[in-house]
Structure 1
Amino acid sequence: MKSYRDLIVWQKAIELVLKVYKVTDTFPDREKYALSSQMRRAAVSIPSNIAEGRSRSTAKDFVNFLHTALGSGTELETQLIIAKKLSYCGEAEYESTSSLLSEVCRMLHAMINKLEARS
């Protein structure tokens, strides 16, 4: 069985975490413990749940963790939209982060569908 580190979706999710940290570094100081912190936690949750789910013994357990990762992705998407509307990030930062997030979420959906079809 492959390690979670070999999963492209996990690798892309790590890339997303780094991007979110970079974007939130530019947020106003008053957001340090608010939106910035929430976005970072949601982003970190995605690869963390992929990794934890991969270590489980059943596909059903793995799928549950992938659903949690997907939920964190939609949470992050909402927070990213809020950050853009508050002018905390520029259009280019928003688009590149949103695009990577969409790619990760599509990959999670595909993985969930594949695992559920096997069960």
Structure 2
Amino acid sequence: MHQYERLKVWQRAIDLCRDVYGLSTSLPADERFGLTSQMRRAAISIAANIAEGCAARTEREFRRFLRMALGSAYELDTHFVVAREIRMLDPHLVSSARSDLREIRSMIVGLSRAAV
């Protein structure tokens, strides 16, 4: 169906994974199995679902994986908000990451609409 490595949205999602891993290293050690793990898992899930969708046999199945990627993006956004609100991450860094995430969400929606 699609070669996921060529998709700009997948490339951006991989960049976001790298950024999330960098940001999450500043979280307290006692959050290793909490917020740190949840943020990393959600970020990876965005890229992974896009890639998995590219192996789908139908456009409908592809869109289903894109919806899961979108859900993971919203989950990650919530983790960013929580980390900012409990003052575990710098608000400026969170703002930048959330801006990148908004763009990725828009790209996912656009790709899903194009798959109709």
**Which category describes the TM-score, using the shorter chain as reference length?**
over 0.9
Q: In the alignment, is residue 38 of structure 1 matched against residue 27 of structure 2?
A: no
2:13 is the counterpart of 1:22: no
Whether contact under 8 Å (2:20, 2:39) holds in the other structure is: yes
Structure 1 residue 2: Cα displacement:
4.3
**How do 1:96-115 residues align onto structure 2 when only pairs under 5 Å count?**
96-115=96-115
Gaps of 5+ in 2: none
Task: Give the Cα–Cα distance (whole angstroms) in 1 for the partners of residues 6 and 57 of structure 2.
Answer: 17
Q: Identity across aligned pairs (percent)?
A: 39
Counterpart contact for 2:53–2:66, Cα < 8 Å: yes
**Normalised by the size of structure 1, how large is the TM-score?**
0.94
- 1: CA distance between counterparts of 2:101 and 2:73? 7
**Separation in structure 2 between the aligned mates of residue 9 and residue 112 of structure 1, nearest angstrom:** 11
2: CA distance between counterparts of 1:81 and 1:93?
11
After TM superposition, the score normalised by the length of structure 2 is: 0.96
Which portions of structure 1, spanning 4 or more consecutive aligned residues, are displaced by more than 6 angstroms?
none
| Cα deviation code 1:35-55 (max 9, x no counterpart) | 110010000000000000001
Segments of 5+ residues of structure 1 without an aligned counterpart are none
Report the number of matched residues: 116
